[in-house]
Amino acid sequence: MYKKKDIVVKLYKSLVRPHLEYCTVAWSPYYSKDKDLLERIQHRFTGMVPGLKNLPYEERLMELRLRSLGERRVRADLIEVYKMVNGNSVMSFDRFFNTIPMEEHEGTPRTLCEVKRNRL
Confidence of residue 111 (pLDDT cuts 50, 70, 90): low
Say what the pTM is.
Answer: 0.75
Query: Model confidence over 35-72: pLDDT tens digits?
Result: 999 999 999 999 999 889 899 999 999 999 999 999 99
**For residues 65-87, average pLDDT:** 90
User: Are 58 and 66 spatial neighbours (Cβ–Cβ below 8 Å)?
Assistant: no
Residue 74 has pLDDT above 80, yes or no: yes
Q: CA 113: distance to chain centroid?
A: 23
